[in-house]
Amino acid sequence: MCDEHSGSSERPEGGDASAEAEPRRSGPESAKEPVELPGGGVMGGGPEPKPAELSIGFGDLVRPFLMMGLTGVGVLPHPDTGQPDTDLGATKHAIATLELLLERTEGNRSADETAMLEQALFELKMQFVEAQRRTGSE
């Protein structure tokens, strides 16, 4: 139990800190208190993230598809097995997604973002052709 006026904190014998982690109020202030999640872990309770910590760059959008494509041609190991694997369908999907991104963001990218996206597409396409040659598939 917490005496809000004196700032002192008293716990009944056998009480634990997790009881105090549950929100007691509703409204904006309660979001700052930690909430225990059913599967384990705690949400909230920490300091508010600074805007710089939340910034996401264009590369954060391109990179997952590049990694997926490179994994599909066996350049990177599959995350589940740790072994190189060939899944040309996944690479085709990554290429198509990046081409769509290139098309839909036309006129809204910086020169660096355009170069990054075009380089990722070029690399995936070259690796895809090489993987087709290696595996004998079309």
From first to last of the 138 residues of the chain, give the pLDDT tens digit.
Answer: 444 444 444 444 544 444 444 444 444 444 567 767 666 666 666 666 666 666 889 999 999 999 999 999 999 999 899 999 999 999 999 999 999 999 999 999 999 999 999 999 999 999 999 999 998 876
DSSP 30: G
* Closest by Cα among 24, 130, 35, 21 to 73: 130
Give this prediction's pTM. 0.61
Neighbours of 124 (CB within 10 A): 24
Rounded to whole angstroms, how far apart are CA atoms 94 and 89? 9
Specify burial of residue 66 (Cβ count, 10 A radius: 0-12, 13-18, 19+): buried
